[in-house]
Structure 1
């Protein structure tokens, strides 16, 4: 296992938020078979434009490298190509940032043709600026004159054009695959079968939940998907047909989210994330045992907003309840180990996809009226009367709405 120093610059984050990010980056290192030996961090309002760290902290980083005899530095922060190059020269070791780390993981885990192409595309887009920088440096060293351009620079330009052509070719292949995916999606829509996508933070237990749902729908184990306790165990979208309680739906297992998911990866994996956009229902799987699950929830919802999937109905499930000492009575818990809450979840999925209408009259004080927006995709308002201390509202909706708002029923 390779050994590394994990470096990070805290720019306008509170200590807890920064700790979450550093812990997550350490886990990303582990997923790349890299052991973090020590940390080097600094608080700042911005990155130093040349070397990210200021001079004193850079010297501290160099001392840590020598003391621990490591040959790799991993930065949490996404750094420019120029910064990475300068730090590497200063420290005389390989330096990578978080985006590079995630790309390495994706390259190792991609299995299908589409995932491999998407990862390759993201890698090429990430590497291309290096070539532009090298061209610029070479041109500057030669005085920037056309007649000064030598064979070495010509080779660089040829290589850059080759990469640009590769990017173009991969985009064409992905466009073709997207058309095939869209055609399959159109045929599924014409069959009127509903679709459900599992979403959530990476390693929250989405694949484990999918396998448990397959078990409850009497599927053989050869239909189970790969699951492992590590970040980004799943990259390829898996689809399974689920039959339960006389109804059917398609279940999609999708790539997990992380904080600050690189733009290159969101762009590259758009076709994979189409499974989320096309879903009738999202099951948001949350690791209830993680002390930072609220922050992970927020990151997932922010990512759904980025990919324009924030208006799809959502059922939140808090996984790994078997690890908890205490539970919040207002949350829906499941465990893929003890199988707690799985049957109830399956019934809720069926009731939400094929709803029976529930009518309810509730009274909400003004500080609780955010609930109307929260559950807008699960109900419609049939009447609303404002009173001194709130509003009396008659609503018709599905089981998610009914279970969530029953406590506000007007006597």
Structure 2
């Protein structure tokens, strides 16, 4: 039996088609303006609210400083950079805003993000649009593995790099083999992946796994968790938390005064500063701090502090470098063609990554290779609030291969479509 009115259906289809055509025609002038503009628009997405918000604020400051420096130097190919920053909030919002930036704003490339779940959503938009996405805060190994993309490049370390960095220090302190580890993990994609890498390191080096508690990302109170630690008495407490979670956990852990060593598989300077001198303890990995003594790193720190009245954190440097890398690629190739930019980034070209040694992207998974560090509480009790921690020498050491920290192709295979 047929249903519906054929004449109504036809007129409805015409109405929908007419509205769609009108929308496309109405958007065309804006799109043409974007494509023929005398600026390169850079779409910058990062969380500005929620438990990752404090890191996102530094991301915006880092990207802003880089854009200003590029423009003060005359831009690239006769065009200035225009930064278009948006709060990505969650994966759905991140995807929608990335799509709008590509279709309406005509951005040359996408930069930023911290959440691995949002990073994956943005990456899918970038791949469909054939736009570069230089992600600056997503740690998940999966983004470099089964979810990798030819248009996706990573200026943030992956979870394996973080775990192996702090793991080397824990091995040196004899805190691994035969030691009982108790873990606490952020209950979302990043945390799940980080715990998997932590557990792998524990198993490979003979640590004894006690338990792992999944912590909601909106958790702010940890007394019940800390009481569990007191009851089980592990040899080491391992944090796989993120953002403000880490800050609150550290502060409350130290308030309880437990004599059990604390370590973590991921940390940001914003968490240290948020915890304060009385709250920060343990040993943690980090990609960079303002204490790194490379000439270019100190120059960046001075410029950032002069501009924003505070030193940069590790998130600021990643977003700063993403903009600088993009500018260098356009300048050196004398092109804004995505395929040519990818070829350049895959060529093994070296970049000043504000550390002692230059960095480069691996061709097969697009991970930026660079030195890492560990941080511990400062022994200088007179240090100001920005220097309540001390930064280690680079990891790996100057005579070691920087790729020692990275997963191999066998461990995290990436196959570009």
Q: Give TM-score scaled by structure 1 length.
A: 0.31
Which one has a bigger Cα radius of gyration?
1
TM-score (norm 2): 0.31
| Higher normalized contact order (CA 8 Å, seq sep 6+, divided by chain length) | 2
Bigger share in strand = 1
